[in-house]
Structure 1
């Protein structure tokens, strides 16, 4: 992909195109939204939508929408059970087909996200990134991105963030089209949905701690920063 930090497409065309395409997609896929919403309500309960704060453009926090894929099962002390227990067969289906991501089209319509861009990670992931890695937030996060079509959750965190930076420095109309077409192909093949042996991707901080790249004291300190940002 060619370097295009300030190209005409990025500055003047990308956002209007995002708005138009997301609006068309919402209208065309409205029957799918309705069916999935009903199934989620019946199989997983309410609320139908899962809402979570994520870092967006320039690290500004926004509320991202997805269809819920987990139950609210808790232990006798009221604590949520682990993901592998709460993630049902239906929830896995929604994730493997990316149907759970459909409500993010409303985030794109609102201007919180773009169709193509670095995926909006958790706030508790952002706080563990270096200043260089945080440059991924210099553009709107995307429904799909360069890292997603090059392994999604199957690549290391370092590789994923490097791919995000590669995209940020190389935004063109043709590269976005390429990413969209590859994404469609991967969705149909259900390729690269989760890391091997895990139902959900490992948090960046947990990865750094488990790999011995960070001390427990530093990990705890940075996690407190994440809680402050979310609250």
Structure 2
């Protein structure tokens, strides 16, 4: 875990410095295209050991609908610019600040909003030992989650009864099989858009 700590702090700092021009451009675009509201979307999420922290993203929705936890592709609350940011995961770049602060890691379970941790059974709460991540094995499997939810009749029910339990299972598997090189593999696969081997996700 020492390597993970060093990697997270070093590359989050480097990433923020290198991406300054990109971040500035996105800030300007949000100000121009979505002037009614803040540039950043800040929301309380569940972190390591169940502790709350504030997660930062670029705002991609209309202000009055930013607080809803389940997102579905094609929703009116997602602005055209926001849809582009979300498609290329650019809305998540501010999470590098969370990694630098130590709230998050590059790799781990995606941080849930308060309430979902309460649904974890006693044996599943082991995943709260992990820092939440920008990406992770469950994120790779459900990289097109919003499109998947758009195809079902009741997105919230499908998320709560199918996707959420499957993510918990995958994240438990990640915890029990963790290695630094697995983290590197997940980061590389995230960048190139490749899925993890099916054997790992079972």
Give the TM bin, normalised by the shorter chain. 0.7 to 0.9
Q: What is the DSSP-based 3-state SS (H/G/I as helix, E as strand, rest coil) of the residue aligned with 2:44?
A: strand
Aligned-residue RMSD, C-alpha: 2.1
Cα distance in 1 for partners of 2:114, 2:174 equals 21
Deviation at 1:131, TM superposition (A): 2.1
Distance between the aligned counterparts of 2:163 and 2:62, measured in 1? 28
Distance 1:85 1:16, change over 3 A: same
* Aligned match for 2:184, one of 166, 177, 188: 177
| Worse-matched range after superposition: 104-113 or 120-129 | 120-129
Length, aligned pairs only: 172
- CA shift, 1:73, in A, is 4.9
Q: Which of residues 21, 38, 57 is equivalent to 2:11?
A: 21
Q: Which runs of 4+ in 1 moved over 4 A?
A: none
Aligned counterpart, 1:61:
52
Mapped partners of 1:176, 1:66: distance in 2: 22
- Normalised by the length of structure 1, the TM-score is 0.69
Name structure 1 gaps, 5 residues minimum: 1-9, 75-79, 192-231
- Displacement, 1:33? 0.5
SS of the residue corresponding to residue 157 of structure 1 reads: helix
Which structure 2 residue ranges, 5 or more long, are not aligned? 149-161, 196-202
- 1:179 match: secondary structure: helix
1:95 matched to 2:95? The reply is: no
Residue in structure 2 matched with residue 203 of structure 1 by the alignment: none
Quote the Cα distance in structure 1 between the aligned partners of 2:64 and 2:43. 19
- Aligned partners of 1:110, 1:70: CA distance in 2, in Å? 25
Report which of the two structures shows the higher radius of gyration computed on alpha carbons. 1
